[in-house]
Structure formats: C-alpha cells, structure tokens
Amino acid sequence: MVELNINGRSHKLDVEPETPLLWVLRDVVGLTGTKYGCGVAQCGSCSVHINGEVMRSCVLPASFAAGKRVVTIEGLSRDGSHPVQKAWAQHDVPQCGYCQSGQIMAAAALLRKKPKPTDADIEEAMTNICRCGTYQRIRAAIHTAAGSRKDGGSVIHIVDAAVPSSSVAAADNRDNAGA
C-alpha cells in the first residue's frame, strides 16, 4: 500500500512500493497523460513534478513519491491555461504529441527556476526526446512563455523557384481566422 498526493488529491493505492510511479499513474490511477517512452530515464516522456522538481517517473519507485506532492500534466492547469501550454498552442508545437506532456512539464519546471532562460539554459534543461523533431518550436515557445520573445519558431520563405530573389518571409504567430 502506498499513499500518494497526486494533483492535490490523495490516493491510497494497493501497489508494491517499488512499482515505478509511471505505471502507478497510468495503470492504477488512470492518469495516462504521462507517457512511457523508454523506462530508463532517457527520453523524458514520463516527466512529472515532485515537490516542484521535474523528475522522470519511469525510474522512481512509488514509495519515493509518498508524502510528496506529485503533479502530472493533467494537474499542471485546470484548462490548459498554464503559460507553457498557451505558448505551445501559439507556436503549434506538437506533431504526434506523444512526447509533449513530458516536454511541457520539463519546460514548466525550467521556467519556475529560470523565468527568463537563455538558449543555453534551454539546451541544458530540455533533454527530452521528441522523435517528430519539434525542437525548434519548443525553443521558441519557451521564450514566448517567458515573455522574452514572441518571434522565432518556424521560419518560412515562399519563393518563386524561377526567380529566387523574390521572397516572402512568413514567420510564426500564425492566425487561423485571418486566413
């Protein structure tokens, strides 16, 4: 039996204390937003916050989290309104989306520590794998969430192939309604 505080709620769970927190969250509590990617603390898909620190739940025994505050992607905000989630939406970061819970949890933890991270800070903190390769937009979205930069993200030139010099730069901050 393990007692856990997850997203502000306490749960008494009949699991072996050494069960990785990831599988307790997914298969017992039913919080499937936290993903399994590698099981060996390499990819970060399983990232959660424990007492405010980002940790990889696939290698943490459930007992480690007992008596601590566990926050998962489902508890980051009630309605997707965390600044990181909003910036992610603005930059249309996800492709398949599978890694994104972990990316968002890692970014939120980074911003709590460093409200205005530099590119170097982002490179150091954001070691989660995204197999779809959304890294450029992740970097831009973190700067946006920090309020330090609104541009960045994808850089798109639409050109006439026959006349290479006539180009238009369509940057980010795309607007659905304006199309």
Partner 1 sequence: MKKTLADQSIDLSRRRFIVSSTVAGGGLALGAHVPFGIGSAEAAEAAGTEVNLWVVIRPDDTCVIRIARAEMGQGTRTGLAQLVAEELECDWNKVKTESVTVARNHASKRAWGDMSTAGSRGIRMSQDYVRRAGAAARTMLLQAAADQWQVPVAEVSVANGIITHRASKRTTSYGKVAAAASKLTAPDHKSLTLKDPKTWKVAGKPLKRLDTADKLTGKQLYAIDLRLPGMLHAAIKACPVFGGKLASFDESKIKGMRGVRGVVRVNDSTVAVVADMWWRAKTALDALPIVWDEGEHAKVTSASIAAHLKTGLTSDDAFADTNFGDASKAIAGAAKKVEAVYSVPFASHSTMEPMNCTVKLTADKAELWIPTQNAEASMAALSTSSGLPLEQCEVHHLDLGGGFGRRIGNQDVVRQGVAIAKQFPGVPVKLVWSREEDQTHDFYRPIAQCRLEAGVDDGGNLVGLHMRVSGQSINAFANPAAIKDGKDVRQLQGLWQKPGDAQIGYTVPNMRIEYAMRNTHVPVGPWRGVNTNQNAIFLECFMDEAAKLAGKDPLEFRRALMSKHPKHLGVLNATADKAGWGKPLAPGRYRGIAQFMGYASYTAAVAEVSVSSKGEVKVHRMVLGTDCGNFVNPATIAAQVEGSVAYGFDSLLTEISVQNGRVVEQNFDSYHIARLVHLPKVETVIAPTYDFWGGVGEPTICVAVPAVLNAIFAATGKPVRSLPLKHQGLTLI
Q: Strand 47-50 and strand 53-56: pairing?
A: antiparallel
Contacting ligand FES within 113-142 (CB under 6 A): 130-132, 134
Nearest-5° Cα angle at 75, 98 to 176 = 60
Query: Taking CB under 6 A as the rule, does residue 156 contact ligand FES?
Result: no
Query: Taking CB under 6 A as the rule, does residue 152 contact ligand FES?
Result: no
- The minimum distance between CB 20 and ligand FES, in angstroms, equals 8
- The minimum distance between CB 160 and ligand FES, in angstroms, equals 32
Closest C-alpha among 75, 142, 80 to residue 114: 142
Query: Taking CB under 6 A as the rule, does residue 56 contact ligand FES?
Result: yes
- The minimum distance between CB 47 and partner 1, in angstroms, equals 12
Query: Taking CB under 6 A as the rule, does residue 147 contact ligand FES?
Result: no
| Cβ-based burial of 132 (10 A; exposed 0-12, middle 13-18, buried ≥19) | middle
Contacting ligand FES within 79-98 (CB under 6 A): 94-98
Query: Taking CB under 6 A as the rule, does residue 45 contact ligand FES?
Result: yes
DSSP character string of 83-137: HHHHHHHHTT--SS-TTHHHHHHHHHHHHHH-SS--HHHHHHH-----TT--HHH
Residues in the site for ligand FES, rule: CB under 6 A? 36-39, 41-46, 56, 58, 94-100, 130-132, 134
